[in-house]
Structure 1
Amino acid sequence: MTTALPHIPTLETERLVLRAPRMGDVQHWCDFTASSRAEFIGGPMIADPAKAWRAFAHVAGMWMLRGYGSFVFALRSDPETPIGMTGPWHPIDWPEQELGWTVWNADAEGKGFALEAAKEARRFAYQDLGWPTAVSYIDSRNTRSIALAERMGCEVDANAKAPEAEEGEVILVFRHPAPEALQ
Structure 2
Amino acid sequence: MKTAQLIQTDRLILRQPQSSDLEPWAAMMAEPDTMEFLGGTQPRSSAWRAMATMAGSWALQGFGMFSVIERSSGRWLGRIGPWMPAEWPGTEVGWALSRDARGRGYAEEAAIASIDWAFDALGWDEVIHCIDPRNQGSIALALRLGSRRQRESRLPAPLEQMVVDIYGQSRADWRQRAGR
| TM-score for the superposition, normalised by structure 2 | 0.88
Specify which of 38, 41, 45 is matched with residue 38 of structure 2. 41
In the other structure, the counterpart of 1:8 is 4
- 1:67-99 deviation digits (Å, cap 9, x = unpaired): 1111111111123x2101111100102121111
Question: Cα gap change, 1:161/1:38 in structure 2, threshold over 3 Å: closer, same or farther?
Answer: closer
5+ residue gaps, structure 2, are none
Number of equivalent positions: 172
Q: Are the aligned partners of 1:152 and 1:176 in contact in 2 as well (CA < 8 Å)?
A: no
Q: Return the alpha-carbon distance in structure 2 between the equivalents of residues 57 and 99 of structure 1.
A: 18
Q: CA RMSD in A?
A: 1.8
Whole-Å Cα distance in 2 between the matches of residues 82 and 107 of structure 1?
11
Structure 2 counterpart of 1:153: 146
Gaps of 5+ in 1: 1-5
SS, match of residue 36 in structure 2: helix
Aligned equivalents of 1:21, 1:139: Cα separation in 2: 25
How do residues 85-164 of structure 1 correspond to structure 2 at under 5 angstroms?
Answer: 85-104=79-98, 106-158=99-151, 161-164=153-156
- Could you list the per-position Cα deviations for residues 122-173 of structure 1 after superposition, in whole angstroms to 9, with x for gaps in the alignment? 0000011111111000000111111100110110013x75524654x43100
Give yes or no for contact 2:67–2:79 (8 Å, CA) kept in 1. Answer: yes
TM-score (norm 1): 0.87
Where 1:157 maps in the other structure, the secondary structure is strand
SS of residue matched to 2:129: strand
Aligned-partner SS, 1:129: coil
